Amino acid sequence: MGLERWIGAWPVYRQITGADRLGRGKAAESRRSAGLGPRTDSADRVVDSVCPYCAVGCAQRVYVKDEQVIQIEGNPDSPISRGRLCPKGSASKQLVTGPQREQKVRYRPPYATEWQALDLETAMDMVADRVLDARRKGWQDVDEDGKTLRRTMGIASLGGATLDNEENYLIKKLFTALGALQIENQARI
Ligand code: SF4
């Protein structure tokens, strides 16, 4: 390395001779950092999304390359979060791409010790059968004085804090239409 280049590699020299007099930018930059770029630079496209973890609903930008999620950042356009994500939201790429994420429906029958794989259609049919069965078994048409009730005591719903407004709205509508009374959300407990 020539003397001039060697001296020029000193941050203090660059600070004194360059535009970055406070030494907080270019003057303090190493050669390695000068060659680095943001992980989001290589994305093919960016998809707007919402953090799935909690009811705050911070907005996200999902960076996609070759149809794979490569990074998730806060979306500054959001009036709720204005580009911020908490540590959980910042780590939500792991939720999407983690190797331990289950991609198939898993079912453990009563008294079984092992999980088994089910196709989604079978699983949905099983859920529907159980809902209808519980509704029928817990159905009350009238009370002891003959007054109309038309309700079921066989179903209760407890929503989690990751549910957003729209999901809670639909869940409330569904279970009320089924005749359930006990419809709650974790956020109210
Ligand atoms: S988990 Fe964090 S980033 Fe996600 S919605 Fe809640 S506060 Fe926002």
| Centre of ligand 1 from the C-alpha of residue 88, in Å | 6
Distance CA 169, CA 28 (A): 53
Per-residue pLDDT, averaged over 100-113, amounts to 93
Are the beta carbons of 46 and 73 closer than 8 angstroms?
Answer: no
Which helix (DSSP H) or strand (DSSP E) does residue 128 occupy? helix 120-137
Nearest to 40 by CA among 75, 84, 88, 77: 75
Per-residue pLDDT, averaged over 30-41, amounts to 90
Mutate to test the pocket of ligand 1, among 49, 50, 53 (most ligand atoms within 8 A of CB): 53
Are the beta carbons of 76 and 84 closer than 8 angstroms?
Answer: no
What is the model's pLDDT at position 1? 59
| Centre of ligand 1 from the C-alpha of residue 99, in Å | 22
Give the side-chain half-sphere CA count within 13 A for 9.
9
| Centre of ligand 1 from the C-alpha of residue 57, in Å | 6
| Centre of ligand 1 from the C-alpha of residue 89, in Å | 5
Judged against a pLDDT cut of 90, whether residue 133 lies above it is answered with: yes
Strands (E), the chain: 45-50, 59-65, 68-74, 105-107, 116-118, 139-142, 148-159, 180-185
Kindly report the protein residue whose alpha carbon is nearest to atom 6 of ligand 1. Answer: 54
Residues framing ligand 1 (Cβ under 6 A): 51, 53-54, 56-58, 81, 85-86, 88-89
Claim: this prediction has a pTM higher than 0.85: no
- Give the chain's radius of gyration (CA, Å): 28
What is the model's pLDDT at position 117? 94
Q: What is the pLDDT of residues 47-89, one digit of tens each?
A: 999 998 887 889 999 999 999 999 999 999 999 999 999 999 9
